[in-house]
Amino acid sequence: MKKTIWIVVVIGVLAAIKLLFISPNDENEKKSSGKQGFHQENSVTVYIVKPQQLSNNVSATGTLIANEEAILTPEISGKVVFLNMKEGKKVSKGELLVKINDTEYRAQLSKIELQIKINEEKLNRQKQLLSIKGISQEDFDITLNMYNSSKADLEFINAQIAKTEIRAPFSGIIGLRYISEGSYVSPTSRIASIQQLNPIKIDFSIPEKYVEIVKVGDIIQFNVEGSNIKHNARVYAIEPKVDLNTRTLQLRAIAENNNNLLPGSFAKIDLPLAKIENALMIPTEAIIPVLKGKTVFAYRNGKAEQIKVETGIRTDTKIQIVSGLQIGDSIITTGIMQLRNGSPVKVISIDKNNK
């Protein structure tokens, strides 16, 4: 019992000694430190709101296609006796590219021409005899039919001879060829492709909600994969119906091709729908989503003021403010997650997007 009392007395003495050595300044420093922590200024970057032109664009993807394209195939079977096509080279419309052996057709042509000559002479004689009733009308008609038949044979054989020649259907560039001189070809044989690359076309589609906005003649911008170069193209055709599966509208545009753009390339397309003058734009990182909308922090009189805003069109880096801000407002773009309404702040820089 005495031992327990002794321990309690010792603890009491030690506590009294500790209180004697505590400086009143230490307490003041703690309180002061707490106050300073509450009022500590946050260093921030601001964006100054100013009016600027805003283009409301629809982004889409598409594919480049040749202005004209054809797969060259023969209409008849035979041996290739002449080949005038260099892969990757330009050819002109009507230029002879392939000649198929026409010896047999030429022989038939000579025979038919001779038969026509014989039938024509016989017809002329019988005309005279018919005029003096030296022959019957029936005999004359038989000769006339023979003459007309031989003329029809002449047209047919000339058409067959024409099919032994393959000419360029339009000016363009020859692709890879799949035959050589001396090859035997048939209507199922693929000889080569020919493509007209200037101008070049772009196929793309947009959501059906923009059907009433897009018109023939609208100018679009596009760039191909791996390049940031922007090219202009003009919409010249619109599919007259919406695709039931994708609910999109198919469009086709045409562009000058002076930069070796290739058919089949993937294209990223910007289709401008409207231009808004004096739009108020701020960086997207300044927006704070809240339960019932969006807010931003504005720098006012050394403090951060939280303001509710209504937003509109979004671009890659900025967003339109429809209501809530005015020209000249300074919007905080950094450290916003550490701020509260009324937090003291210090502006250290202007946002790099303030151009």
Q: What is the pLDDT of residues 226-247, one digit of tens each?
A: 888 899 999 999 999 999 999 9
Location of each CATH 2.40.420.20 domain in the chain: 42-54+278-350
Cα 200 from chain centroid? 12
Distance of CA 32 to the CA centre of its chain: 63
pLDDT recorded at residue 265: 94
- Residue 141's pLDDT band, with cuts at 50, 70 and 90, is confident
pLDDT at 11 over 80: no
307 within 8 A of 324, measured Cβ to Cβ: yes
Determine the 3-state secondary structure of 285 from DSSP.
helix
Identity of residue 162: A
Helices assigned H by DSSP within the chain? 2-21, 24-38, 103-131, 137-162
Fold of 59-67+193-276: Elongation Factor Tu (Ef-tu); domain 3 (2.40.30)
CATH hierarchy code of domain 42-54+278-350? 2.40.420.20
Query: Residues 6 or more apart from 99 whose CB is under 8 A from it?
Result: 80, 81, 82, 83, 164, 165, 166
Res. 16: pLDDT tops 70: no
pLDDT single digits (tens) 112-140: 999 989 888 888 888 888 788 878 888 88
pLDDT band at 312 (very low <50, low <70, confident <90, very high): confident
CATH entry, 102-163, from 1.10.287.470, 1.10.3720.10, 3.30.56.10, 3.30.360.10: 1.10.287.470
| Residue spans in the chain of domains classed CATH 1.10.287.470 | 102-163
Which residue's entry shows tokens 């339109």? 320
The arithmetic mean of pLDDT across residues 173-179, rounded, is 94
**Cα 294 to Cα 287: distance, rounded to the nearest angstrom:** 6
Average pLDDT, the chain: 85
Start-end ranges of CATH 2.40.30.170 in the chain? 59-67+193-276
144: pLDDT strictly greater than 50: yes
Length of the chain: 355
Examine residue 289 and say whether the peptide bond preceding it is cis (omega within 30 degrees of 0). Answer: no
Predicted model pTM: 0.62
